[in-house]
Structures are given as structure tokens and as C-alpha cells.
Amino acid sequence: MDGAPVSFLKRVDELSGSSKVRRSWFAFACAVFIIVIVVPSIFVVTKLFTDWGLVDSVINNDGIRDTVLSAVANSFSIALVVTVIDIVVGLPMAWIMVRKDFKGKKWLDTLLDMPLAFPTAVLGISVVMFWGAPEGVELPGLGIVVSPYVMMIFLHILFTYPYMVRSLSAILEQIEPNFETAAMTLGASKWTAFRTITLPLFRAGLATGFILCFARSLSETGGTYIALTMMGVESTFFTGPSFISWLKSDTSVYSADEMMGAQILISVIMIVLALLLLVVVRKAIAGFHIPLKKVWPDLGRKLSRGPLPKAKDVLTIAFLLVVVLLPAFYIFMYLTQPIPDIDYGVLLGSIATSFLVAGVAVAVDIVIGVPMAMYIARHRDGKLGQTLDGLVNVPLIIPTTALGFSLALFWGGFGLSESFALLLVILGHISFTYPLVVRNLIGAIEEVDPAYEEVAMTLGAKPFQAFRKVLFPIVKSAVIAGGILAFTRSLGETGATTAISNTVNTVPIYITKLVQSGDYTEAAMCSIVLIAICFVIMLVLRLVTSRRSGRDA
């Protein structure tokens, strides 16, 4: 190694010995978190008071008001239906992933996460092609005519289901399997043991999964808008975010003031309801008890043995294949079609923009997220720790369209507008990816006994050295996992980007534009190129990190 970075690290090591330096570093991370992430995310709420006139005129205009309200109602009811389906089908899937051992489990494990790596705009195209028969698409789909509402449910299941299974699996893994065994030696059938022991212990995971899926469905823009466009109903059927996208794409319908008022109203309603939800769901699930004390041993036995449990497993896997995986991968059918002319210059340019945004956002997330995660993980009982823990979730549950709109208003107030569009987009992406990185890290750091670092320091290590050489290598895989999650999430984001700027051309925006002009084949090919690049990068990242950790060991 050359001298310069070593001496730099050494200086940081030395500095970290002073508690003043450590405290100011944490204060800095907190300040960045509050000023750059939290405040801009909810800034729009203040507009309700400062620009009440705009909002008031929208409320008094029956036409817009009803459209806005029905859009918000659609958003929430779709999110609710999707989340309930996710729970019902996700529970047995989590069970299979955690408690069963079979050949090909690793494959299933990887397949499960695949839809997360697809930009939602791509999923939107793929799902409509698979289930329906949209005009202008040459490929045969199932040709089922469903209402836009049902189609949105099919679509939203795709990118929420993996979150649900992951959250439930994480909790299931922490539940002592001996509890079930103990219940069974006491005479409970498998089904009864699950209902009376495991399910009640599940509540925390259920709350997390519920909030994650609900928020994800609520805020999804790109896929929803593309799917609605392909179905030809983008100007008649709205969800909250798709309404904002539509407003931006067609400025001829309403006046500028009406548009601003409508956007403020929708954003505020969705932010407030989403925040309320966070509190209410937590409380409701924590306080929820299955009221049923009674047990039917014979029924339990019938449900635990013979064909029923098998049927349940088969149905679970079938659901994953037919409702999640096939529709997601259906876009690859376009590979059978003659390859269209793609403007590779524009495509590569948009890919470069996407990667720049995602890369910078993730790097910032990690740098300012690590001290935050460490503090929260180690100060769970303190007031500040709990407050920060709650605040970190805020950008996660705010619909990204509303978040983007709010952010643009906030920084616009400082004179940062179109000319700084790229910077603003990056700031927006930092906001909604930050919780993903920090959540993952908190989980990992909580698992690590603080004694490791303490031992390192009794052996003479400075705090930063102890972090670098002891804690970081242990939680490295969680940092990488969180980083990948955040990166793919940023890569696939449409809503926040459109809400912030009309000029920054990321890949999902480019694909959306192609779909709007009816170039489905081109859009599909671009999607395939993007997916291919994503997979290569993820593969390389996995290879590099696994080799690195192999050598370290």
C-alpha cells in the first residue's frame, strides 16, 4: 500500500480517540439526516398553510376534487388488498424458506428476490403483456380482460411480495423452533402449534412486512403509470402517484395553479395518511390478540397431516410461479421478436445517469448511515435512539412521488431548481434509499456483541480502528446487502424522479417515454438490456465480495 491513505486512516484513528470528535461526527450525521432527508420529505405539508389559496380552489372545484379523492382512495385500497394477499400467501412461503430443507432451495431463494432487481416500469410492461392483451403488442398474452383496478393488484403483488416474504422469514428465523416442538410434545398438532404459538409471536414481523408492502404499493409510480398507459386508461383511472405523473405529462388539461394545488393536496393527504398508518398499524398489531382460546384437536390433526399440508405447499409455490415470477419474466418473450432499432446513444446516456444517481445515493447512504445505525442499535432504550429509529422510517413510508414533489419545493425555495436538477434527483434518491441501508445495518449491528469492540479497545485500538477492523468486517455483508437493495431500488424509481425534474433522463423515465409514444418493442428491449446490466453488476459484486471475505478468513 502507498503511504498517503495509511497516514490518513491513522489520523482518523487518532482523532476518533477524542469523544468530542466522535460526538461532533454523530451530530453531523444527525444534522444531514434531518436537513437533507427528513425535512425536505415532509416540507410540502407547510405549503398547505402558505399556499392555502391554491389548495382551496382545488377543493372547491368538484371535478378536480373528486378525481383527487378517488385517486387517493384507489391508492389506499389497492395497497390494502395487495398487502393482505401478500400476508396470506407470504406466510406459507416464509415457512417453506425457513423451516424446510429441500433441493433447489437456493434457487428458489434467488428467484424470490428477482422481481426486486427489475425496475418497476419494466414490471408494468411485463405484467400487462402477460395477463392482458393490450393494443399494439404483437406477443400473445393470456388475453384476460380485467379492470385496471385488478390489474394494479396483480402488478403491485409482484414487487411487494418479496418484501413480505423476507420480513416474515426474518422473524420466523428468530422464533425458537423448540417452541413448536414443545407444543407438539404437549399434544398440539402442527397446525394448532402454529396457530397458538408461532403466529402470536409473529406480530413484530407482521407489522414490519405490512408497513413495507403497504408503503411500497402506495408510492409506486412508474410501473403503475406504464401499465395504465398500456391499457389506455391513464387519463381515466388514477392512483395518487399516477395522477401526478399524468398531470406532468399532459399540461393542457388544468391551469398551472390548479395543478400545483392538486399536487399539494394529493401529496399532503398521502403523507399524512401514511404517517398515521405507521403509528396505527404498529399499535394495532402489537395489541392484537387472537381471541380464540378454543382448540379443535381433530380439525387441527386433519389440517396437519395427509394431503392438506402438501396442497398448501404446492399452491404456495404455484402462486409464486404463476402470479409473481412468470409475469415478471414475461418481458423476455420479446427476445423471440425481431430486434428493433434502439437509439443506443440515448439508452446508454440514460443508463449512465441512472447509475450515477444510484451510485452517489448509495455511497452517501452508507457514509452518513453507519454512525446513525450504530447509535440506534446501541441506544435502543434511550429517548433519542427511539426517536431516530422512528424518524428513519419516515422517508420509507412516504409515497416517493409526494416525497419528490416536496423535495423539489423545498430546495426550489433556496433557488436550487432546474439547473441543479441532477443534484436534486440525487438528494431525492438518497431520501428513500437511506432507510433501506440503515435498517439493514441496525439489524446487523444489534446481532454483534459490543464486547468485541470493547475487547479491541482494551487491547489498545482507537474507536475508529475498532470499528474498521472488528465491527465493519462482521457487518460487511449487511452493508453490501443494504447497498444492493438501495441501488436497485434507486435504479427502478420513477415517481420521485418525475416529480423532481422533467429533464433528468434516467432509464425508467426513458422507458416510460417510449411506452407513452407506443414503442412497446423498443421499451421492452431497453428493459432487457437494463436487467442484463443489473444482473452482471450484482454477480460481479457478489463474486468480488465473496472472494475478498474468503481471503480475509
Partner 1 sequence: MARIKLERISMRFGDFYAVRDISLDINNGEYVTILGPSGCGKTTLIKVISGIWRPTEGKVYVDGMDVTDIPMEDRDVGYVFQNIALFPHMSLKENVAYSPRVKDQGDEAMESLSTEYLELVGMLARAGMFPDELSGGEQQKVAIARALASGSKMLMLDEPLSALDARVRVELRYELRRLVKKLGITVLHVTHDQEEAMSVSDRIVLMRYGAIAEVGTPLEIYRRPKSVFAANFIGETNLLECTVSDKSKNGKTKLKLRGGEEIRASKTDFKVGDPVVISVRPEHVYTATDGLEAEVTAVVFMGTYWRVRTTAASRDFVEYNVSSDDEVPSIGDRVHLVFNKKAIVVFERPRGGIEGEIKLE
Segment contacting partner 1 by CB under 8 A, of 139-147, 160-168, 193-201, 324-332: 193-201
Give residues 350-379 in contact with partner 1 (rule: CB under 8 A).
none
One of 66, 173, 176, 418 touching partner 1 (CB under 8 A): 176
Cell of 209: 412486512
For residues 54 and 264, the answer to whether their CB atoms sit within 8 Å is: yes
Question: If you count them, how many residues does the chain have?
Answer: 553
One of 41, 189, 221, 440 touching partner 1 (CB under 8 A): 189
Please report which helix (H) or strand (E) contains residue 369, including its range. Answer: helix 344-378
Segment contacting partner 1 by CB under 8 A, of 279-287, 291-299, 422-430, 512-520: 291-299
**Residue number, 181 or 419, with CB nearest to partner 1:** 181
197 binds partner 1 (CB under 8 A): yes
Residue 165 to residues 77, 309, 384, 438: CA-CA distances in angstroms? Answer: 21, 19, 31, 20
132: left (phi over 0), alpha (psi -120 to 50) or beta: beta
297 binds partner 1 (CB under 8 A): yes
One of 63, 200, 382, 390 touching partner 1 (CB under 8 A): 200
Is the torsion defined by CA of 204, 81, 133, 512 positive or negative? negative
52 binds partner 1 (CB under 8 A): no
One of 187, 232, 382, 473 touching partner 1 (CB under 8 A): 187
456 binds partner 1 (CB under 8 A): no
**Residue number, 289 or 551, with CB nearest to partner 1:** 289
Q: Report residue 488: phi and psi, to 5°.
A: -65, -35
204 binds partner 1 (CB under 8 A): no
One of 7, 18, 185, 387 touching partner 1 (CB under 8 A): 185
One of 8, 52, 149, 179 touching partner 1 (CB under 8 A): 179
188 binds partner 1 (CB under 8 A): yes
Q: What is the DSSP letter of 33?
A: I
Cβ-in-10-Å burial (0-12, 13-18, 19+) of 125 comes to: buried
288 binds partner 1 (CB under 8 A): no
Q: Which residues of 52-78 are buried (b: 16+ CB within 10 A; e: fewer)?
A: eebbebbbebeebeebbeebbebbbeb
For residues 241 and 68, the answer to whether their CB atoms sit within 8 Å is: no
20 binds partner 1 (CB under 8 A): no
**Residue number, 176 or 418, with CB nearest to partner 1:** 176
Summarize as ranges the residues that interact with partner 1 (CB under 8 A): 176, 178-179, 181-190, 192-193, 196-197, 200-201, 293-297, 300-301, 305
